[in-house]
């Protein structure tokens, strides 16, 4: 009981905090759409698989960038680590079972994340940004040089991935299995990240993002939390990379490239970072935009994308979801505003 005689739990702010992790009515929509896509567009499942993997990868970035505020350009280092783990193990005939393969991809990527995070996260700002880029470039060059194991510039193709549960074959030309497999893995990873960001740990990450100095002053082990978050994010990126290698039955240097890292960053900015669903909205918007822009202006469609990003950076810093939130806030009856 508070002195005013009102039970604390009845206060709107306490109710909001206590209930913010509850499932909202619209939250099943992306999953319904993902499953509907399977039935409606059977010819585009390869494209759909790629899109879902991109969403998974973008979610891993959202955890570090959107929640913990770690600015990184090197997230593809972990995507590539996961992809090459699956690729090298399968090519050498050591391990090709898909699900355990993803676990191994996650572990290897997490190890890379932990190792680099322990060093990188001592820094901040531009230094950190450059170091994440360096980590990724080092891995890419290592993969290029270790030709014997990684296939160098050519990568590893025709990976012999075992059937899922020993039954469902991965057919690169007709990727029904891949699509449903990726939907399931994305769902599991998403539930994990969603649980994480609504937990006290997730709350402390947003605290670090909002004011690192204050987090030190409330006794939080800031660097340990950041390293842990970075490692978990790396593991999820590793799963994304691993599943990409499985779905396409090949790995190449592009999995470790700046292009891939920059694309997910653009996706998050477009969709809105630190918002869980920004990855979904951003990925779909990115794909749709590049499709239409390249139809209108095939040689320089990226110019249009660039201009759009400038507009978003200037006028809608929270991306598409931010615009929707602002609109919903205006339409909502004032009573519910607090």
Specify the residue, 246 or 318, whose C-beta has the smaller distance to other proteins. 318
CA atoms within 13 A on the CB side of 64: 32
Closest CA to 237 of 100, 99, 102: 102
**Interface region with other proteins, contact rule CB under 8 A, candidates 12-20, 35-43, 180-188, 324-332:** 12-20
**From candidates 38, 187, 198, 301, binder to other proteins by CB under 8 A:** 198
**From candidates 180, 220, 287, 316, binder to other proteins by CB under 8 A:** 220
HEC string of 133-163 equals HHHHHHHHHHHHHCHHHHCHHHCECCCCCCC
Specify the residue, 2 or 299, whose C-beta has the smaller distance to other proteins. 2
**From candidates 158, 203, 300, 310, binder to other proteins by CB under 8 A:** 203
CA distance linking residue 139 with residue 84, whole number of Å: 11
| Smallest distance, other proteins to C-beta of residue 8, A | 4
**Residue 3, interface with other proteins (CB under 8 A)?**
yes
**Residue 329, interface with other proteins (CB under 8 A)?**
no
**Interface region with other proteins, contact rule CB under 8 A, candidates 130-138, 208-216, 241-249, 259-267:** 208-216
**Interface region with other proteins, contact rule CB under 8 A, candidates 14-22, 105-113, 287-295, 307-315:** 14-22
Specify the residue, 207 or 282, whose C-beta has the smaller distance to other proteins. 207
Specify the residue, 171 or 199, whose C-beta has the smaller distance to other proteins. 199
**From candidates 23, 94, 167, 213, binder to other proteins by CB under 8 A:** 213
Specify the residue, 75 or 318, whose C-beta has the smaller distance to other proteins. 318
Q: What's the Cα-to-Cα distance from 97 to each of 102, 104, 197, 289, rounded to whole Å?
A: 9, 10, 31, 36
Specify the residue, 98 or 278, whose C-beta has the smaller distance to other proteins. 278
**Residue 215, interface with other proteins (CB under 8 A)?**
yes
CA distance linking residue 118 with residue 326, whole number of Å: 38
| Smallest distance, other proteins to C-beta of residue 15, A | 9
CA-based diameter of the chain, in Å?
A: 73
**Residue 316, interface with other proteins (CB under 8 A)?**
no
* Ramachandran region, residue 151 (left: φ > 0; alpha: ψ -120 to 50; beta: rest): left
What string of DSSP letters covers 24-75?
PTTTTHHHHHHHHHHHH-GGGHHHHHHHHHHHHHHHHHIIIIIIS----S-T
DSSP assignment, residue 5?
S
**Residue 19, interface with other proteins (CB under 8 A)?**
yes
Specify the residue, 155 or 202, whose C-beta has the smaller distance to other proteins. 202
**From candidates 126, 217, 328, 331, binder to other proteins by CB under 8 A:** 217
Please give the backbone phi and psi of residue 6, each rounded to the nearest 5 degrees, phi first: -95, 135
Closest CA to 106 of 188, 35, 46: 188
Name the residues that contact other proteins, by CB under 8 A.
Answer: 2-4, 8-9, 11-14, 16-21, 195-196, 198-204, 206-207, 210-211, 213-222, 225, 338
């Amino acid at each position: 009981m508070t002195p005013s005689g009102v039970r604390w739990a009845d206060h709107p702010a306490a109710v909001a905090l206590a209930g913010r992790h509850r499932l909202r009515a619209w939250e099943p929509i992306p999953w319904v759409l993902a499953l509907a896509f399977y039935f409606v567009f059977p010819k585009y499942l390869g494209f759909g698989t790629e899109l879902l993997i991109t969403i998974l990868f973008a979610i891993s970035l959202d955890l570090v960038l959107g929640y913990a505020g770690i600015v990184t350009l090197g997230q593809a280092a972990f995507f590539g680590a996961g992809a090459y783990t699956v690729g090298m193990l399968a090519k050498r005939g050591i391990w090709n079972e898909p699900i355990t393969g993803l676990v191994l991809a996650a572990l290897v990527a997490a190890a890379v994340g932990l190792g680099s995070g322990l060093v990188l996260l001592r820094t901040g700002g531009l230094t950190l940004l450059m170091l994440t880029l360096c980590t990724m470039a080092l891995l890419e060059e290592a993969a290029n040089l270790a030709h014997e194991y990684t296939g160098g510039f050519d990568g590893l193709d025709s990976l012999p991935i075992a059937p899922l549960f020993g039954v469902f074959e991965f057919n690169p030309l007709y990727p029904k299995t891949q699509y449903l497999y990726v939907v399931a893995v994305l769902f599991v990873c998403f539930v994990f990240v969603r649980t994480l960001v609504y937990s006290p740990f997730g709350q402390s990450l947003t605290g670090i993002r909002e004011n690192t100095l204050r987090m030190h002053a409330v006794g939080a082990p800031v660097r340990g939390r950041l390293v842990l978050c970075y490692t978990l994010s790396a593991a999820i990126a590793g799963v994304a990379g691993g599943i990409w290698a499985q779905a396409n039955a090949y790995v190449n240097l592009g999995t470790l490239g700046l292009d891939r890292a920059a694309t997910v960053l653009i996706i998050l900015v477009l969709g809105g970072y630190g918002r869980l669903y920004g990855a979904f909205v951003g990925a779909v918007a990115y794909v749709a935009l590049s499709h239409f822009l390249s139809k209108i202006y095939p040689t320089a469609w990226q110019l249009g994308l660039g201009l759009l990003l400038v507009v978003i950076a200037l006028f809608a810093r929270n991306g598409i979801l931010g615009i929707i939130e602002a609109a919903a806030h205006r339409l909502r009856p004032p009573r519910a505003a607090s």
